[in-house]
Amino acid sequence: MIKVIIHGFNGKMGKVLQNIISDDPTMEIVAGIDPIDRESEFCPVYKSFSDCPIKADVIIDFSHFSAIPALIEHAVNTKTPAVICTTGLTEDVLNLIRDSSKSVALFRSSNMSLGINVLKKALEVVVGPLESNFNIEIIEKHHNKKVDSPSGTALLLADAINDSCKVKKDYIYGRHSKNDECKITDLGIHAVRGGTIPGEHIVIFAGPDEIIELKHTALSRNIFANGAVEAAKFLSKQKTGLYDMSHLFD
């Protein structure tokens, strides 16, 4: 039985995780961490890691970017592997994750969906034959509560494209007030926010007289929770190091 602490327990994703893990006979929620310490039928809930005396095999994090340093500190001090699903992380926090992975197993992805990560791998194959003649644009859509823009997933896909290009792209975030020529070396990234859209990402390859679109639509938050659970099962067996979704495909 894999013992799990959920960081961001009372958030939207935390609640989805509670239901999915409670139906998994191989996993058990032993504690929740959340500033809002509501009682739970599943486990005790603590306001912070410093209040939590309970040991676990792995932490699954869907919290707020400001809470990640405390999570990393706890993971390192207790040698507890952690799956970090929170987005909008600063470069300082990303460096902290990289440095801390030398002491404890950490897993980070900008998107925990299996489909998005398959799309990422597909882009790595598609880009090569198209990059010299096709303009590339990314449009991402999310609900009106999402605070970071563009999404971490849009940047994940953009980086996958750029890493596969012989001539690197310049990221263009929207085009308001821009009078510049649309260059083949530009990669446009555009954000839409509204309603309750769980997440949609469209990669457009626009060439002479033809267009290719690759699209992923999230129909519910379950896909992210399912990916996080699979990552937690994987990570609970790993030694120190930094892992991502590509390791689940090996």
Mean pLDDT in residue range 241-247: 93
Question: What pLDDT shows up at residue 97?
Answer: 97
Mean pLDDT in residue range 100-128: 94
Question: What pLDDT shows up at residue 42?
Answer: 81
Strands across the sheet containing 105-108: 45-46, 27-33, 2-7, 58-61, 82-84, 105-108, 241-243
**Percentage of the chain with pLDDT > 70?**
98
- Digit-coded pLDDT (tens) for 156-213: 999 999 999 999 999 999 887 767 788 999 999 999 999 999 899 999 999 999 999 9
Tell me if the domain spanning 2-108+222-248 has CATH number 1.25.10.10: no
- The structural architecture, per CATH, of the domain 114-218 is 2-Layer Sandwich (3.30)
Show which residues are catalytic.
142, 146
Domain edges within the chain: 2-108+222-248, 114-218
Whether 87 shows a pLDDT value over 90: the answer reads no
Question: What pLDDT shows up at residue 182?
Answer: 86
Phi, psi of 60 (to 5 degrees): -110, 125
